[in-house]
Amino acid sequence: MPGRKRTWEAISFELVMTASALVALVLIVAPSLVIMIVSFTSGFSLKFPPPGYSLRWYVELANAWQLHFAARNSLVVAFWSTALSILLGVAAALAIARSRTLSARLLDSLFMSPLVLPALAFGLAALMLFSLVGLPVSPLTLVIGHTVVCVPYVVRNTVAALAQLEPTLLESSAVLGASQVYTFRRIVLPLIRPGVIAGAFIAFMSSFDNVPVSLFLRDAATDMLPIRMWQDLEGKLDVTIAALSSVLIIATVALVTVMERVSGLSRRLTS
Amino acid sequence: MGAAPKSRDATSYGIGLTAPLALFFAVFFVAPLLQLFWLSLHNDTAGLQWGIGQYLHFLADPFSLGVLGSTLLLGVEVTAVCLLLGFPIAWLYHRVGPRLQTIIILIVLLPLLTSVVVRTFAWIVILGRQGIINATLQSLGLIDAPLKLLYTQFGVVIALAQVQMPLMVLPLITALSRIDSNLDDASCSLGAGSWRTFRRIVLPLSLPGIIAGCTLTYAAAITAFITQSLIGGGQMLFMPMYLYQQASTLQNWPFAAAISIIFLLAVLAVVSIFTALGRMSRAYGGA
């Protein structure tokens, strides 16, 4: 930087900040690396560094039918919750994005509130309601509960994408005689699609990972993966879970990389 | 960039499009919470006798108040650690080229999207008796017996800080990118040192981001059931696990409902305080 003196004072500041940032970044990455290394252990414990390396726990994982069953349930629930979130969330976002009215602001706050309210309290409340009306826990109750806590991500990202839309584009389309439906299909939707995809992706991941709502709304027949893993870990520190964790980490990295290409995920979350 | 009123019909959609989601929320979000509140106002587990007995029980019970207190304190500690470590990341982000920027964002983002159970499990491996920290310290001859790191407040705070870090860093990056870099240069050329510029210019101007990050981190940290229970173990009890035990193991639904409402109000109070601070800081930043 021209004109700025490289004094000891300036250097100390840069050093302290850079060092803290690097420590923080290592702190963020280290746990994932550690768990991937431990998953290749040849031993029976989570000792680090492992006494030797093998693929035995991945073989265990391939035979762990309880985990497969829970994973399949989680994927199905996450899929339907995301689909429902897109349907309800995008429609709501279209109405509230450009509106300055009080009712739009209030609805916006309502739709965002599951993000800050303790989800466990909502999970309990939903269980109470379902048992009051006599609806037994099932994949359906799980999808309903997950949609409530996942739809905010779709609404928020779609609203953000709509806010960046040039109003003149829509005006010109209207002036040229296009109907609102046509304009939506040919102009609005293509332009907001990356935002909707980013929101849907986050909604999917948070449904797949959800514990507080699933805790109350599932039973043995609808076992969910994060809860199965949690209960396995409460009982014993099983290395199979480490192998499964590595698989999930790799899958997440792969998905995030794809999403970064498709929807510019990182830009979306920092603007 | 306000929409011009004359073109309302073309650029805005009717409020009616919110109806499906609003209805969905009314039935499956608002109604359950109201029912939760209604049930918390009953003195017996069957829900027949009206009264505020559950709340009185909670507020007169030193054990319950202790759980609430330690949960709120845990949130403060985690938020402080996240802020101390998160701010330098956001600062570094604005010092590096676009390639490194993307890498930093992806590193920060990754934990946000990785399963919480997976992230927490990793900390068990790190903090355990045979974990990295103990193995390293022992091989260096710094300690004789393994330190107890798992099932301690320290362990819970560190693990939660890592788990919730993205929620702090992302708003900070946004806030820092809105600061005019000329201000920074002006301050320096007028003779203020880097530390002073940071304290007097960068920090105050990034307050909206700090407050947004703190709100999200705090709310997430005190409700993080999995990390609290796996790293804290059986001896440390926080509100989410307390609620779950009362509801699930003891089937004491009215008391669990009262705990939920008290917890909800505590979270709402903290969020409103932060929101009020945020409004003040924006007014300050805009002045």
Least confident interval from B102-106, B249-253, B279-283: B279-283
C-beta separation of A239 from A45 below 8 A:
yes
Split at pLDDT 50, 70, 90, the class of B11 is low
CATH of A64-270, one of 3.40.50.1000, 1.10.3720.10, 3.40.50.970, 1.20.1050.10: 1.10.3720.10
pTM: 0.89
CATH assignment of the domain containing B198: 1.10.3720.10
Is B25 part of a structural domain of the chain?
no
* B112 vs B87 pLDDT, higher one: B87
pLDDT at residue B32 tops 90: yes
Any idea what DSSP says for residue B42? B
Kindly determine whether residue A24 and residue B131, on different chains, have CB atoms separated by under 8 Å. Answer: no
Residue indicated by tokens 């407050």: B211
User: Which pLDDT tens digit goes with each residue over B36-58?
Assistant: 999 999 988 777 788 888 999 99
Contact B223 A24 (CB under 8 A): no
Flag whether pLDDT at B2 surpasses 70. Answer: no
Do the beta carbons of residue A132 and residue A176 sit within 8 Å? no
Parent domain of B211: 63-286
Whether chain A has a CB inside 8 Å of the CB on B267: the answer is yes
Q: What is the percent of chain B with per-residue pLDDT over 90, rounded to a whole number?
A: 39
Distance from CA of A121 to the nearest CA of B (A): 5
ipTM: 0.88
Q: How many domains does chain B have?
A: 1
Query: For A133-142, what is each residue's pLDDT tens digit?
Result: 998 889 999 9
For the CA atoms of A138, A144, A148, A153, the dihedral, rounded to the nearest 10 degrees, stands at 100
Rounded Cα distance between B286 and B275, Å, is: 16
Structural domain boundaries in chain A: 64-270
Quick count: other Cβ atoms within 10 Å of Cβ A133? 8
A208/B16 touch (CB, cutoff 8 Å), yes or no: no
Q: What would you measure as the largest C-alpha separation in chain A, in angstroms?
A: 74
The distance between the two most distant Cα atoms of chain B, rounded to a whole number of Å, is: 77
Q: Are A135 and B32 in contact (CB under 8 A)?
A: no
How high is the pLDDT of residue B12? Answer: 66
Does residue B3 fall inside a structural domain? Answer: no
Judged against a pLDDT cut of 80, whether residue B284 lies above it is answered with no
**Percent of chain B at pLDDT exceeding 70:** 94
In a domain, B203, yes or no: yes
Beta carbons of B109 and A256 less than 8 Å apart: yes
Residues 6+ apart with CB under 8 A from A117: B264, B267, B268
Q: Tokens in use for B102?
A: 């993307």
Q: Is residue B177 part of a domain?
A: yes
Instruction: Check CB contact of B242 with chain A, cutoff 8 Å.
Output: no
> What burial class does residue A45 get, using C-beta atoms within 10 Å of its C-beta: 0-12 exposed, 13-18 middle, 19+ buried?
middle
Residue B21 lies in a domain: no
Cα A73 from Cα A70, distance rounded (Å): 5
* Positions of chain A with pLDDT under 70: 1-6, 270-271
Instruction: Please indicate, yes or no, if residue B20 is contained in any of the structural domains.
Output: no
Residues 41 to 60 of A: which have CB under 8 A from any B CB? 45-49
Q: Does A106 touch chain B (CB under 8 A)?
A: no
B4 three-state secondary structure: coil
Strand residues in chain B grouped as ranges (E)? none
Q: What is the rounded distance in angstroms from the CA atom of residue B96 to the CA atom of residue B150?
A: 36
